[in-house]
């Protein structure tokens, strides 16, 4: 496998890692990234997701076909009305079909738990009005190398994209703005993930800008008595920039780039649960070199308030 091809696979890998890392919010709110909405003091929220990433647009002769199913479990605990601690542990199934130099089509795969991430979110600004809230919350955390990185099969060590972990300790942080009313909700987020070196490989850092607009479509008119269930139509935008990778301190020109996704979705919100689904569709792809082109990232999710 040529170096730039191997590294190109990292783009898909990093996008998936980002998809896992930035979908940790467990309150109502955006589907593909975080929110500043409240978590009660001493309360626990669970979010289970199923994320399917498919990347098949391979310009190389290997004709790689990557499928990843990720099931991240997110637990959120409110330690204070303004402070919440998040923990995310994904279970991963990764599979790649690849054409070898001899022309044989082979399948390589791995499954198991990936990298554990944890972060703290603090509500720095809270403006509450009747039936409306505006919140601003910085967050900071760390992705830990708990996922396996030395997995091999009969053909040898699996490529990085199929490993369950990155092997690196990666700090991250950002800022989330949420404006929620009875009729709609707007969320904006900016974040940065610092990738550190592991196994002589240092993936490029990642910066993201996310936006989400949720509009209540059921009930369409006035909200009824009590706490009725709502259906939101959701449109989200994710712009992801990734820096170039380094191997042994040497920057790789065939890595990094910018991707812009649009994600239409639906969200059913009740008193105790949220059911939702969204598909992130790549609108603009400016990857450097020969990276795997993404088809989509689909996700369904349920959140339960305990």
Residue from the set 30, 38, 72, 114 that interacts with other proteins by CB under 8 A: 38
275-288 burial code (b ≥16 CB/10 A, e <16): ebbbbbebeeeebb
79 part of the interface to other proteins, by CB under 8 A:
no
The secondary structure of residue 160, as a DSSP letter, is: G
Q: Which stretch binds other proteins (CB under 8 A): 38-46, 48-56, 111-119, 141-149?
A: 38-46
Query: What whole-number distance in Å separates Cα of residue 111 and Cα of residue 11?
Result: 19
Task: Between 23 and 259, name the residue whose CB sits nearer to other proteins.
Answer: 23
78 part of the interface to other proteins, by CB under 8 A:
yes
Residue from the set 115, 185, 205, 210 that interacts with other proteins by CB under 8 A: 185
Q: Is the peptide bond before 67 cis (omega within 30 degrees of 0)?
A: no
Residue from the set 28, 51, 62, 188 that interacts with other proteins by CB under 8 A: 28
User: What H or E segment, with its residue span, contains residue 91?
Assistant: strand 83-99
The interface mask with other proteins, positions 266-305, x = CB under 8 A, is ---xxxxxx----------------------------x-x
Task: Between 101 and 129, name the residue whose CB sits nearer to other proteins.
Answer: 129
The interface mask with other proteins, positions 137-176, x = CB under 8 A, is ----------------------------------------
Q: Which stretch binds other proteins (CB under 8 A): 4-12, 93-101, 189-197, 224-232?
A: 224-232
CB of 276 to other proteins, least distance (A): 11
Q: Which stretch binds other proteins (CB under 8 A): 66-74, 235-243, 264-272, 280-288?
A: 264-272
Query: What whole-number distance in Å separates Cα of residue 60 and Cα of residue 72?
Result: 31
What single string gives the DSSP state of each residue in 266-278? EEEE-SSEEEEEE
CA angle 299, 304, 306 (to 5 degrees): 160
Residue from the set 22, 33, 119, 230 that interacts with other proteins by CB under 8 A: 230
Backbone angles phi, psi at 79, to 5 degrees: -85, -15
219-230 burial code (b ≥16 CB/10 A, e <16): eeeeeeeeeeeb
The secondary structure of residue 199, as a DSSP letter, is: T
250 part of the interface to other proteins, by CB under 8 A:
no
Residue from the set 2, 3, 61, 81 that interacts with other proteins by CB under 8 A: 81
Query: What whole-number distance in Å separates Cα of residue 52 and Cα of residue 31?
Result: 14
Distances (CA, A) of 142 to 27, 113, 208, 248: 21, 17, 16, 23
**Positions that interact with other proteins (CB under 8 A):** 27-28, 37-43, 78, 81-82, 123, 126, 128-133, 180-182, 185, 222-230, 269-274, 303, 305
């Amino acid at each position: 496998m040529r170096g730039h091809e191997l590294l190109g696979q990292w783009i898909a890998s990093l996008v998936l890692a980002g998809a896992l890392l930035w979908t940790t919010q467990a309150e109502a709110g955006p589907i593909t990234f975080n929110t500043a909405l409240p978590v009660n003091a001493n309360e626990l929220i669970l979010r289970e997701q199923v994320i399917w990433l498919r990347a098949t647009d391979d310009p190389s002769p290997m004709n790689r076909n990557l499928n990843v199913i990720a099931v991240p479990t997110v637990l959120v605990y409110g330690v204070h009305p303004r402070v919440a601690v998040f923990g995310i542990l994904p279970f991963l199934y990764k599979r790649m079909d690849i054409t070898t130099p001899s022309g044989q089509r082979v399948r390589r795969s791995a499954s198991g738990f990936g990298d554990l991430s944890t972060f703290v979110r603090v509500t720095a600004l809270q403006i509450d009005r009747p039936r409306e809230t505006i919140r601003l919350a910085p967050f900071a955390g760390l992705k830990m190398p708990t996922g396996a990185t030395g997995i091999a099969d009969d053909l040898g060590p699996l490529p990085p994209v199929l490993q369950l972990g990155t092997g690196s300790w990666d700090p991250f942080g950002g800022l989330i703005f949420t404006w929620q009313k009875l009729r709609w909700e707007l969320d904006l987020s900016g974040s940065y993930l610092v990738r550190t070196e592991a196994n002589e490989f240092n993936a490029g850092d990642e910066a993201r800008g996310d936006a989400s607009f949720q509009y209540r479509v059921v009930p369409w008119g006035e909200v009824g008595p009590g706490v009725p269930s709502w259906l939101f139509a959701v449109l989200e935008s994710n712009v992801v920039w990734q820096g170039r990778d380094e191997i042994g301190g040497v920057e790789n020109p065939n890595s990094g780039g910018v991707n812009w996704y649009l994600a239409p979705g639906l969200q059913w919100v009740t008193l105790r649960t949220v059911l939702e689904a969204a598909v992130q569709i790549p609108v603009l792809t400016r990857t450097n070199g020969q990276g795997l082109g993404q088809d989509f990232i689909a996700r369904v999710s349920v959140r339960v308030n305990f």
